Structure 1
Amino acid sequence: MFLILIAIGWLYVALLMAVAEATSPIGTVLGAIITFLLYGVGPVALLLYILGTPARKKLRRQREAEEQATWQLAQDAQPGSAQPDTGGQSAADAVAPVRKEP
């Protein structure tokens, strides 16, 4: 919340700088727009992006954990999804031995 107040205050100061630039006898409207973008919007956007990184990482990890849990529930719900040979019996020969005809 405190960060939002700082961002709003900084944008207000940058807006006043842009208005002063536009109303100055040697200033231009284009200079005011550039002033507002380079002194106001650019730094605030960069600051909010950098300081919002931990929240984005936390949200991504939470989403991945939910997807993993959903996938695991779907795998457990399928009847044939169990691992083979979990019955406790030893495995028999899968291929019959080849014999020569007499």
Structure 2
Amino acid sequence: MYIIAIGWLYVALMMSVAEATNTTGTVLGAIITFLLYGAGPVALLMYILGTPARRKAIRAREAQEAEMLRASTTDGQAPGGPQEPVETGRPDAPQGPAGRRD
């Protein structure tokens, strides 16, 4: 997958060099050529092709969190462990871990 992206970026770079060195070409035209014909499409393609890997990583992370939650509940503790109120020293400050007053 990466070899195709590298090859396309090389082609777009050579198109940009040809644009910049042409007698009627400009450097701005070369930059626009590289961005619109090279970097933009390759970035979009890599994002689309990377979607299955991102989904797999999210599922693995969720499974790991579920396993940790399951392990903590079998130890006799509440999910997330014991929570104590937060003392700020101000009487008008929100109390508790969720930032609410009870």
TM-score (norm 2): 0.74
2:45 aligned partner: 47
Q: Percent identity?
A: 63
Provide closer, same or farther for how the CA distance between residues 20 and 56 of structure 1 changes in structure 2, counting only shifts above 3 A.
Answer: same
Shift of 1:78: 1.6
User: Is 1:13–2:3 an aligned residue pair?
Assistant: no
Q: Is the 8 A contact 2:17 2:30 kept in 1?
A: yes
Provide closer, same or farther for how the CA distance between residues 66 and 80 of structure 1 changes in structure 2, counting only shifts above 3 A.
Answer: closer
Letter in 2 for 1:40: G
Aligned length: 79
1:77 aligned partner: 75
Task: Flag as ranges the 4+ runs of structure 1 deviating above 2 A.
Answer: none
TM-score (norm 1): 0.74
Runs of 5+ consecutive residues of structure 2 not aligned to the other structure: 80-102
Larger Rg: 1
Letter in 2 for 1:29: V
Q: Deviations over 1:43-82 (max 9, x none)?
A: 000001001100100000000000000011011112689x
Provide closer, same or farther for how the CA distance between residues 19 and 69 of structure 1 changes in structure 2, counting only shifts above 3 A.
Answer: same
Q: Deviations over 1:5-56 (max 9, x none)?
A: 1100000000000000000111100100000000000000000100110010
1:23 aligned partner: 21
Name the structure, 1 or 2, with higher relative contact order (CA <8 Å, separation 6+): 1
In the aligned structure 2, how far is the partner of 1:13 from the partner of 1:80?
Answer: 58
Provide closer, same or farther for how the CA distance between residues 44 and 79 of structure 1 changes in structure 2, counting only shifts above 3 A.
Answer: closer
Q: Is the 8 A contact 2:12 2:38 kept in 1?
A: yes
